[in-house]
Amino acid sequence: MAQDGSREIEKSLLHRHTEKHFTAGEIVLDIIIEAAEVAEILEEYGIEPHEYRPVVNALRKNPQAWLDFMMKFELGLEKPDPRRALQSAFTIAIAYILGGLVPLLPYMFIPIARKAVVASVILTLLALLVFGFAKGYFTGSKPFRSALQTALIGAIASAAAFGMAKAVQG
């Protein structure tokens, strides 16, 4: 998972790099069209033509600022923070540690394995429901549906892992 996060960051950087070079070429070759696009973007923010013309002219004089403006406002691609990769890696690592502790907690406090297994299943399903609800709430989808989906997928994955362990065990 941490590797997936790293790959996503690399893909994002490559995409931004490609778009940056493409947009830089457009600015040089299609200066009138690109200036019109800047005007269009500024109009979306309620800026009047007499207000944005000086901005467009100023951007024409500074190609790097123009490129940065187009990357941010036309393409929605901001300069990546170089510390983001390390931050993402730590976030994923902490999430794995905490996520892995949830099903193990009952075994630390309940000495009888059968009871600990039941408590572990219940605690894990509750944690998945809470996580799924939070995910749905913060992503703007239906929180209750997200909670049920997350718990169901977690239960299926757990059952599959348990079944494979039983099959290998004999």
> First vs last Cα of the chain: how many Å apart?
30
pLDDT of residue 104: 94
Query: Length of the chain in residues, anyone?
Result: 170
pLDDT of residue 18: 64
The yes-or-no verdict on residue 3 having pLDDT over 60 is no
pLDDT of residue 130: 95
Residues 6+ apart with CB under 8 A from 79: 16, 68, 71
Please tell me which residue, 143 or 30, carries the higher pLDDT value. Answer: 143
Q: Per residue in 140-158, pLDDT tens?
A: 999 999 999 999 999 999 8
Which amino acid, residue 115? K
What is the rounded average pLDDT of the residues 50-68? 76
**Among 122, 96, 95, 98, which residue's Cα sits nearest to residue 110?**
122
pLDDT of residue 25: 54
What is the rounded average pLDDT of the residues 37-48? 77
What is the rounded average pLDDT of the residues 79-103? 84
pLDDT of residue 85: 76
Least confident of 4-8, 80-84, 97-101, 111-115: 4-8
The DSSP annotation for 41-60 comes to HHHHTT--HHHHHHHHHHHH
Write the burial class of residue 147 (CB in 10 Å: 0-12 exposed, 13-18 middle, 19+ buried).
buried
Give the predicted TM-score (pTM) of the model: 0.54
